[in-house]
Chain A
């Protein structure tokens, strides 16, 4: 077994001991043990993207990961912080969500895209956002509002 020091991880900046139970996924651990219910379960099998969280800045699906194996920095929608304010406002202003159930995953993924940087030309940026967010299903918006919100937050008119 690995030693105690390596069994730590951070969730939204909080240092925590990784669970020792092999059964719960990161998603269930976040939602049940840490009561971070902002991250949603849409399918539980890696097909919808509602449970997207960041692991060391990289979007991943929390429903696929055994929680006991997770190391590093986990960021959920609750942990995006003030810097993500303009992105959240853009989602609200551009019709980036309706029912809101997929929104946490969309926001977290979009945040990572913005950190990585988008192409500066609008057609290329829109295509990049659409391609990247194709793993985040939305049934309400038809995606236009989501894409517009991400482009707006990325400073692309």
Chain B
């Protein structure tokens, strides 16, 4: 009755699917103080003074802590780097660094108290990126042992005989690759509940962690406690991916607050804090060169890597080292010669992240392996097969491959996709690519990282309970431990329970990192269960007899009889109180830590392999890359639970796909720009195909039951597999993640030599703007930024004091006169408050205002649509007559939003500029002489490339684009009870800003009857399913036989307000334009108005592209209607 290989459910599945399973934020809150953290507004500054007096005087404040509350010089251990204090100690080195924290009766008080703490800073020029940090005159963030400015560590790796390999090679391929920082974005924001018991001098922590060992060690260390005084308790872990495999900064802060306040303290980060201030994946800049010989063999690897460490060393050195190791494990060249530098920058620090350096170096390596194969005229998959290591190989870095399924993985991809056929015969814009990866199954990095302990209790009622000291962040490790114990003891799985994390009740384990859970946990659980079997076997003697004992169905069977296990417990002399407990330590002997100087060593008992193949479609009109298929073949040895293994593979692959196609941490002035799900383009369900996971057969001699690790490998191949597929599709090699449409379209334009000519010299109205834009990076931005940096509170959201529910327009007008703001679906209200905008305190709900609802046809056949009609209702009501509205609505946000969001709210929503939204004190927020951060910052997606003025934002509404094309009017209720009408080309006066006056209300939209005669279609380019438009278009015309008349082309997302492309409309009028005519005439019209920022000129090409797509769709729509 083996549970090995069974698709068992997670042990806690019932509670996990009915809402009972608890995470930190779900713990009872009675008597628990809430905490808030005061964070640095500066990337690099000395702290001159901190005055907490005013904050301490606020009613409800129970404790305030600063660095002074911690033992002098307290620093996290972090692999010996010891460079970070739990609260900034005299210096801040990144925006968002923790400076002080408050515990109070409620969250609002804690936040108010943080705002009342007065900190005086002396700002210093901050090295905000690798290039700035290594400049000769850059300021040092730390004094480092390297003695070099901002070099936290240097590496030089020479493995094998590099010179011989290079000399034997016939050709080399080289490239420069950049892997952007990626955020874990765990669905559960980071947080902890800390309870200090003064009488017992003991601290309890409920923290979602995969490694309670490190939490205990680090928190005890910085609080000046013995590790035995700090106890982690078991609690749900809402994701980790590396984020929670070391100490997190909130744990020690909450602990100190609790100790000072003498009360339990809960500190949960907001989503914005979680994004912008916790550790992310390290960005890598890599120069790599591969040398291959005439026989299709990779012979030598050389290059140089610079790793963005961020402001503190958490795992930077070991991530760099692991990334280098990755280059020496996959293939077997003669030699490798690599150097690397870990560079300190004044940005949020990097930390451990699934893939751990190999994701980054694997991208460069596997991109160049393709180039080497192609340069050689060989098939990239065959090239890899020829270079794949068989079992028994000792690789350059000393990895001893007990098993190797790389070839099998490559073959599985080939067979599943019919690779030869796809490579030779395919559709335009479609390409296929492959990439491989290898990963450890738990690194031995020194100390006791080759050891795991496990305890099992067997009760007299025949139940077994497993105690294991790491945390299960969703990998299923807890269930796997139970499956193993059930298998060894012959128990049904439902008789086995397990607990993890609790550092008092579970024995020693260093945690769930480095894909070690299966190997170490598996061996430890099996060893403990076998020890238990021995005890039980002894207890059954002498009656048991000499035949080999069998453990089945909860019984021990021997030649002399059978006993229920529970009964044997009673017979064991060691058993106490009806419980027999065993505990063992599994120590892996087959591994050694890598040699410090050379980096060589067999650090893992087994190595697991993968090959991923991607089929992509590259839209050459918009630059959008869409995955058509994705195959992920893995060699994990024996899968102990195939469902969990496939979950790790698919989840890892989609995270890697995210890194390839959308995810990156963008910063400006050291502050994260896109720290929100709406701005951080991680994959949604609609963005990815079903990843086809394949488990190739195999088992590893060193693994428990032949199993190997799997948690990290799946994230590594996708970036290179997709880059290789894009290369195959359009012949262009992309070298910087993520491959967003700007990079794709930019590369296509560069390859074709295409350039737009805007003839700005002919447009005097743009001269002043051009001058200001020119001045921005030349000192103007710095000047303006210095005026606002750190001057304003981070959070100005106010408590909502009153919500009226007027039943009619008159009541609404009265409320508005009293200063209320209309409230529709509330979609933007909560967003703005969470973003720290002040927001209204008095609201008037429009839901019951009948005059604002309803969709009516007037006598002429036009439509009058009330402003409070929801998007969902609007799409339903107009599906037959104006389907283009529903087409656009289907691309807006999510069904949940569309069900409540109103037409009025959609049209009047605030600009979505990510600087304005995410904490930047920009001109639109602070007025006067505050800067526009978009001009010199990252403005590739959501800023104007036409007509940008002082603010570069755009009007975000997609419906505005459609309604402009349909010739709609806004019906505005005036304060005096009258109505006025505004056509859509006069409704907007700026980005998300309208011509509505004080006290005026958008009452309805009128769409003229003639709109019903138009064929219309909507196209939108966005980064994720439901995302805001980078550029959108509504194209409409009326067909009269072979002619199209009344052409309308409305563009959104490209200018501060939605615009009609009048010049193109006039040129097209009277013909049905073919694709070439659209390209020419729309291109000409766009050239005429374009005035892009340095990084968003591609949007003009994309705008042409979406118009061409829309026009093509309209032509085929017409053809279909004609045929019908």
A contact residues vs B (CB 8 Å cutoff): 1-2, 22-23, 25, 31-32, 36-50, 52, 58-61, 63-66, 68-69, 76-78, 80, 88-89, 91-95, 97-104, 107, 109, 126, 129-147
Contact = CB atoms under 8 A, between A and B. Distances in A.
B19 A36 contact: yes
B899 A60 contact: yes
Give the most central of A132, A142, A145: most B CB within 10 Å: A142
A48 B802 contact: no
Contacts of B651: 98, 139-142
B7 A46 contact: no
B425 interface: no
A62 to B, nearest CB: 10
B236 interface: yes
B597 interface: no
Interface string B180-195: 0000111111000000
B676 A43 contact: yes
B650 A99 contact: no
B236 A91 contact: no
A145 B896 CA distance: 21
Contacts of B896: 46, 49, 52, 59-61, 109, 135
A138 B650 CA distance: 12
B997 interface: no
Contacts of B800: 22-23, 66
B614 to A, nearest CB: 14
Contacts of B239: 98-99, 101, 139-140
B893 A135 contact: yes
Contact of A99 (B188, B685, B835, B1025): B188
A146 B474 CA distance: 14
17 contacts: A37-B22, A40-B187, A59-B899, A60-B899, A64-B825, A64-B830, A68-B803, A69-B805, A99-B187, A99-B240, A99-B473, A130-B686, A134-B1026, A141-B654, A142-B652, A143-B650, A147-B685
B777 interface: no
Which 4 interchain pairs have the tightest Cβ spacing?
Answer: A38-B19, A135-B894, A98-B474, A142-B654
Interface stretch (B154-162, B687-695, B1060-1068): B687-695
Given A47-B677, A100-B21, A101-B239, A142 B655 contact: yes
Contacts of A141: 647, 650-651, 654
A64 B619 CA distance: 36
Contacts of B693: 144
Contacts of B188: 40, 42, 99, 101
B686 A46 contact: no
Interface string B16-36: 111111110110010000000
The number of chain B residues touching the other chain, given as a range, is 35 or more
A100 B474 contact: yes
Contacts of B12: 100
Contacts of A101: 23, 186-188, 236, 238-239
B876 to A, nearest CB: 12
Contacts of A66: 800, 803, 823, 826, 843
Given A48-B677, A129-B685, 19 more contacts: A22-B801, A38-B20, A40-B238, A44-B834, A64-B900, A66-B826, A69-B847, A97-B474, A98-B476, A99-B237, A99-B473, A100-B12, A100-B17, A101-B186, A131-B686, A131-B1025, A135-B1026, A140-B647, A145-B646
A92 B10 contact: yes
Given A92-B17, A109-B896, A139-B186, A46 B830 contact: yes
Contacts of B238: 40, 99-101
Contacts of B831: 45-47
Contacts of B688: 142-143
Given A40-B23, A66-B826, A93-B9, A137 B835 contact: no
Nearest to A104: B19
B894 A49 contact: yes
Nearest to B473: A99
Nearest to B842: A22
B653 interface: yes
Contacts of B863: none
A10 to B, nearest CB: 17
B827 interface: yes
B533 interface: no
A39 B20 CA distance: 10
Contacts of A47: 271, 676-678, 831
Nearest to A127: B686
B245 to A, nearest CB: 14
Contacts of B654: 141-143
Given A44-B834, A60-B896, A142-B691, A22 B685 contact: no
A145 B690 CA distance: 9
A139 B658 CA distance: 10
A133 B474 CA distance: 20
A69 B186 CA distance: 31
Give the most central of A37, A77, A109, A140: most B CB within 10 Å: A140
Contacts of B678: 47
B805 A78 contact: no
A102 B239 CA distance: 10
B598 interface: no
Give the most central of A46, A60, A66, A133: most B CB within 10 Å: A46
Contacts of A39: 19
Contacts of B643: 93-95, 145
B576 interface: no
B1083 to A, nearest CB: 32
B861 interface: no
B684 interface: yes
A137 B651 CA distance: 12
Contacts of A31: 25-26
Contacts of B21: 100
B677 A133 contact: no
Contacts of A38: 18-20
Contacts of B965: none
A35 B21 CA distance: 13
B834 A137 contact: no
B682 interface: yes
A134 B686 contact: yes
B736 to A, nearest CB: 23
A41 B189 CA distance: 8
B826 A137 contact: no
Nearest to B870: A58
Nearest to A7: B805
Contact of B19 (A43, A78, A144): A78
B13 interface: yes
Nearest to A88: B17
B802 A22 contact: yes
B897 interface: yes
Interface in B868-915: 890, 893-897, 899-900
B650 A93 contact: no
Contacts of B823: 66, 69
A39 B21 CA distance: 11
A41 to B, nearest CB: 7
Contact of B187 (A42, A46, A60): A42
Contact of B270 (A40, A44, A109): A44
Contacts of B26: 31, 37
Given A23-B799, A98-B474, A134-B1026, A103 B16 contact: yes
B895 A42 contact: no
B827 A46 contact: yes
Contacts of A147: 685, 690
B19 to A, nearest CB: 2
Nearest to A94: B643
A150 B831 CA distance: 30
A60 B20 contact: no
Nearest to A91: B17
B845 interface: yes
A43 B831 CA distance: 9
B241 interface: yes
Contact of A130 (B7, B23, B236, B685): B685
